[in-house]
Amino acid sequence: MRRISMFMCCGMLLLLSACNDATSPANAPPVTTPVTPQSRLSAAAQAGQVMFFDQTLSGSGKMSCATCHDPNSAYGPPNDLAVQLGGTSMTAAGTRAVPSLRYKSVTPPYADLLDNPDGITAPGPGGGFTWDGRVDTLAEQAAIPLLDPNEMANTDKATVVAHIKAGPYADLFRQAFGQQALENVDDAFANAGKALQAFQMEDISFHPNTSKFDLNAGNKIGGAFTPAEERGFRVFVDPNVGNCASCHYNGAGINGSSSLFTDFSIEAIGVPRNMAIPVNGDPTYMDMGVCGPLRKDHQPSAPHAADNFCGRFKSPTLRNVATRTVFFHNGIMHSLEQVIRFYNTRDTRPELWYPTEGGTPKNPPDPDFPTYGLIKTQYVGGQVQKYNDLPAEYIANIDPQMPLDGRPAGSATPMTEQNVTDLICFLKTLNDDYVPGKTPTAPECLK
């Protein structure tokens, strides 16, 4: 169990993964080109910029990086599908939700014992890219969707290199990496990843820092919080209430430089199983994050053997979280309010989030039966199948911090209704493209 200071807090592992899209390019909304002029980008970044939007780099000829990581959606998915569709026919379903690519440039390499930036919490698994931290650079991460059969579905590295060689930016690629840059397949493929990395590192649209929080943190005109937003920030940092900062904080504060709103930790919180993901139709399939199946170096020594890494997924940044419609590594939830209520009632009302076995449906449900949960049916009797996407032997890996502190069912929630409302108001201040002086559209955020 982690120990934290009064200014930290464990919030929302809004765990989100790689790239594929269900909308065809013809029906998808137009993507906005990045904001940094090409003249200000290195040759490698210029090549990466063109590659990022190049659909010919996929086996289907219909998918680019931007298909899933849409600039209009903070470089996240442009729809609310739990997982995206790709492959050679654009019908292959992924296994994890698509994350945003914003604010990734300072991500540390994965470590089993990563130092926590708060200087207080004990080191633990953290860092790296993808939901399980299995690669250490943006260049390595870019290679994954290019070859994944459910995503861009190229047959092999040589196919990717052939596409680049035949593309209109081949000369630009050679300018960046040398005249022989496309002759050796392994080197050329590695440089393709470096080009995409350079684009993400250099183009300001990947790390704009233009939220209301940024204006407030820098004491700039027009950035003042409303009372509700101010209260929400207190909920965010209070270890006895929201306790969000223990996982979504990286050493910066509200009166200092802007935080990344993640400490890069990798945690287990027992997110419910999502049966909308086709692979989950197989009851033997379990996505357990760091211990597999996609990551191979931390798997249990034998089936069901003890393994401290099982069930752990990366804590993403909360920047632009209020713009998302897909949350957690398996895309099980579709609104920010639902996510916060999961944190608040996972333990006190588990029947709202996990299936009940053996119960009798109550028809009609009680007038006060909440409708915000995943489970819309109220049951009498039966057994709630809590933590239904994690084998029983790994439930001990679940983080016991507030607000997911394992308190008894039926007990008081960590956050009040006002706390929930205020926290949502604060999290909306993390959206980029804030217009100075603009008031919140939600009336509850003005009070």
Using CB atoms within 10 Å of the CB of residue 358, give its burial: 0 to 12 exposed, 13 to 18 middle, 19+ buried.
exposed
Q: Report d(CA 419, CA 92) in Å as an integer.
A: 41
Mean pLDDT over the full length of the chain? 89
Please give the share of the chain, as a percent, with pLDDT higher than 70. 88
What lies within 8 Å, CB to CB, of 187 at 6+ separation is: 181
Label residue 27 by pLDDT band (50, 70, 90). very low
Domain boundaries defined on the chain: 38-96+131-206, 209-447
Cβ–Cβ < 8 Å for 284, 371: no
pLDDT at 33: 55
CA dihedral sign, ordered 33, 38, 41, 42: positive
Residue environment code for 313-346, b if the CB has 16+ CB neighbours within 10 A, otherwise e: bbbbbbbbbbbbbbbbbbbbbebbebbbbbbbbb
Q: Does domain 38-96+131-206 match CATH 2.60.40.1220? A: no
CATH of 209-447, one of 1.10.760.10, 1.20.1070.10, 3.30.413.10, 3.30.470.20: 1.10.760.10
Closest CA to 35 of 176, 169, 205: 205
3-state secondary structure at position 125: strand
User: Which token pair is 426?
Assistant: 């604060």
Cβ–Cβ < 8 Å for 69, 78: no
In tens, the pLDDT along 215-274 reads: 887 666 677 899 999 999 999 999 999 999 999 976 544 434 458 999 999 999 999 999
pLDDT at 122: 84
| Average pLDDT estimate for 411-434 | 97
In tens, the pLDDT along 167-191 reads: 999 999 999 999 999 999 999 999 9
pLDDT at 3: 34
Q: Report d(CA 319, CA 313) in Å as an integer.
A: 18
Q: Report d(CA 411, CA 388) in Å as an integer.
A: 22
Q: Length of the chain, please?
A: 447
pLDDT at 4: 34
Q: How far apart are the first and last CA of the chain?
A: 36
Q: What type of residue is 60? A: S
Closest CA to 267 of 408, 131, 386, 137: 131
Tokens 């080009």 correspond to: 195
Cα 48 to Cα 58, 106, 156, 166: the distances in Å are: 15, 19, 19, 15
Q: Indicate the DSSP class of residue 415.
A: S
In tens, the pLDDT along 49-102 reads: 999 999 999 999 999 999 999 999 999 999 999 999 999 999 999 999 999 999
Label residue 23 by pLDDT band (50, 70, 90). very low
In tens, the pLDDT along 325-361 reads: 999 999 999 999 999 999 999 999 999 999 999 999 9
pLDDT at 230: 94
Q: Is the pLDDT of residue 292 over 70?
A: yes
Domains 38-96+131-206 and 209-447 alike in fold = yes
Cβ–Cβ < 8 Å for 229, 441: no
